């Protein structure tokens, strides 16, 4: 009996590791009926009635055949599925966060990604948006003169030309945002990319002693 119980627990553990609840990558609504739906969850076909939960932890809340939509719930978070539309990287209720430590001057630096290109960020709550020089923009692959809106801004060194652009993705640690406002400043400054409020307004910032924690809002 002990051996059978042990094997049973190992089987459950293997199943949990194979597809942990909340680690779903893709969900799509394959077919829709009154109080029933066929949902594809990471390639697995699940037929669910309203109120039922799949082995992956996806609960069907309700269906709307006229709107061709179904409401689901994962880890307490509800989401609308539309027939034929795939939702990628379905987020669990866990919140992504990153902890930053200051340098000797008290400034917070961190490595990150813009459009999947590595950059060095300087946290700057005084900057209204993410800001970078024209050299960094070229490195990241931003054609700011073609796709940006030209403006003139005043700095300590005088008036400079800037371009307002949209960044496809910005990532710091596990925190990732899409379509983030940014500014490209013609010239060599700033030397690091300023992590301004267009990013910081989307996170909770907590300063605790010698470190700062950024937590993504969902």
Report the distance separating Cα 122 and Cα 106, nearest Å.
11
Q: What is the DSSP string of 193-204?
A: EEE-HHHHTTEE
Domain, as residue range, for 127: 97-216
Indicate whether 116 and 210 sit together in one domain: yes
Whether 80 and 164 share a structural domain = no
pLDDT digits (tens, 9 = 90+) for 116-156: 999 999 999 999 999 999 999 999 999 999 988 988 876 65
pLDDT by residue (tens digit) across 100-114?
999 888 899 999 999
Query: 186 and 119: one domain?
Result: yes
**Region of 15 on the Ramachandran plot (φ > 0 left; ψ -120 to 50 alpha; else beta):** alpha
Q: Are residues 196 and 156 in the same domain?
A: yes
Considering its fold, how many domains does the chain have in total? 2
User: Which has the closest alpha carbon to 171: 89, 104, 79?
Assistant: 89
Q: Assign residue 68 a region: left if phi > 0, alpha if psi is -120 to 50, beta otherwise?
A: left
Q: Are 129 and 63 in a shared domain?
A: no
**29 and 109 share one domain:** no
Residue 13 has pLDDT above 50, yes or no: no
pLDDT over 90 percentage in the chain: 43
Is residue 122 located within the same domain as residue 186? yes
The domain that holds 116 is classified in CATH as 2.40.70.10
Q: Is residue 177 domain-shared with residue 112, that is, in the same domain? A: yes
Q: With beta carbons less than 8 A apart as the criterion, state whether 37 and 63 touch.
A: yes
Where in 156-195 does DSSP place strands (E)?
158-172, 175-185, 193-195
Does the global pTM surpass 0.85?
A: no
Same-domain pairing of 36 and 18: yes
Structure tokens at 19: 């597809």
- Work out the average pLDDT over 187-195: 90
Give the confidence band of 4 by pLDDT, cuts at 50, 70, 90.
very low
Check whether residue 54 and residue 123 sit in a common domain.
no
């Amino acid at each position: 009996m002990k051996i059978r119980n042990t094997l049973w627990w190992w089987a459950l553990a293997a199943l949990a590791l194979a597809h942990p609840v909340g680690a779903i990558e893709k969900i799509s609504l394959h077919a829709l009926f009154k109080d029933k739906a066929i949902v594809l969850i990471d390639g697995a076909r699940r037929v669910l009635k309203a109120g039922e939960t799949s082995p992956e932890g996806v609960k069907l809340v309700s269906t709307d055949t006229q709107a061709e939509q179904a409401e689901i719930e994962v880890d307490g978070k509800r989401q609308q599925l539309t027939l034929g539309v795939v939702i990628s990287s379905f987020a669990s209720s866990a919140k992504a966060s990153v902890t930053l430590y200051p340098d000797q001057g008290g400034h917070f630096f961190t490595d990150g990604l813009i459009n999947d290109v590595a950059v060095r960020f300087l946290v700057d709550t005084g900057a209204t948006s993410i800001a970078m020089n024209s050299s960094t923009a070229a490195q990241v692959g931003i054609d700011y003169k073609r796709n940006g809106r030209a403006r003139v801004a005043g700095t300590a060194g005088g008036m400079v030309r800037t371009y307002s652009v949209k960044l496809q993705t910005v990532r710091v640690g596990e925190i990732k945002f899409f379509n983030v406002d940014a500014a490209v400043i013609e010239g060599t400054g700033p030397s690091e990319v300023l992590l301004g409020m267009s990013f910081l307004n989307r996170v909770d910032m907590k300063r605790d002693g010698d470190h700062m924690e950024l937590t993504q809002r969902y």
